[in-house]
Amino acid sequence: MRFALLHLMCLAAIADASYGLFGPDDCAGVAGNGRLTIAFDHFGRLSMCRWPEPTAPNQLTYTELDGTVRGAKWAMDDGDGVRWVVSNTPGATRMQDGSAPVIEMADVSTGVVQTAFVVPERDIAVFQLRFLEQPQQNSVLWHSDFSPCPSSMRAVPGSERLFATRADMVAFNEGAMYHARPADAHSVAWEETNRWLTGGLIPQWMKKGAAVWIGYAAPETFLHAVCSTRAQDELADARTMRAVGQCYSVVRVPLDPADNTATIFLAAGERRSNVDD
């Protein structure tokens, strides 16, 4: 009986996530190097970030059980409010072959082109937004819902949905933005992390031991960077430089005036030092 229930839970969770080996069923483009694998949906959202292998957990929350789409995406703030760089209709996607295949997604409605690729020999992904015409703003926003997850059923993509409480722990900004969770997230790790949130000592797990670290930065310093959790949002709490729980982060990235582009460099590793290198 227990086995039957577990089997049904597995099927339901994987079906709900609509995940396959290369991400969601509406996956439009995929790039990877055998360790880090990324994918976009047809509307221009980053929908998958698997590491340290293509069948490892998706280190990004793409959809919630209520159907809310999250993932990671660019946004424009040109004085008329924030507008997501997400097409109302599927955009054109092109793959450029080479040692590092490039995903290119053009969105005529917003006048931008997104490109992304994974560095062949490093666990690094590069995301760029380019304006086709002179933009009205000098910066753009990058919103990401990374949820580091060390646990999944080996060789069963999407099974991380069965371990919702075993994904995500902390997000914080220290020049670069970091999302992380230790491999062994025991009660002491949570207690230390919550004390650190309010000014306590850095948790021991951040100094040693295996974990999943996702870090990202831009060529120039972020103009603004905040993190929060869904619980904080429900309580209308202010966004901060540190968050503990089911976290997301938002950064303002300056545009390069030479070519009207914004760039994000993302790295994954077992320790913060791996990401910083």
Q: What would the pLDDT profile of 206-236 be if each residue is shown by its tens digit?
A: 999 899 999 999 999 999 999 999 788 777 6
CB 216 within 8 A of CB 177: yes
What's the token pair of residue 234? 């429900």
What is the reported pTM? Answer: 0.87
Q: Residue 11 above 60 pLDDT?
A: no
Domain extents in the chain: 2-276
> Judging by DSSP bridges, how do beta strands 139-144 and 124-131 pair with one another?
unpaired
Query: Is the pLDDT confidence value at 109 over 80?
Result: no
Question: Cβ atoms within 10 A of the Cβ of 181, count?
Answer: 26
Q: Which residue has the higher pLDDT, 7 or 190?
A: 190
Q: Provide CATH code, domain 2-276.
A: 2.70.98
Percent of the chain exceeding pLDDT 70 equals 81
State the pLDDT at residue 8. 27
> What's the rounded mean pLDDT across residues 78-83?
77
**Confidence (pLDDT) at 277:** 86
Cα separation values, 25 from 17, 29, 61, 104, 168, Å: 9, 11, 15, 19, 24
Distance CA 82, CA 173 (A): 22
Query: What number is the average pLDDT over the span 49-56?
Result: 91
State the Cα–Cα distance between residues 114 and 63, nearest whole angstrom. 21
pLDDT in tens, 132-189: 999 989 999 999 999 999 876 665 656 666 666 778 999 999 999 999 999 999 999 9
- Under 8 Å between Cβ of 118 and 32: yes
Confidence category of residue 91, pLDDT binned at 50, 70, 90: low
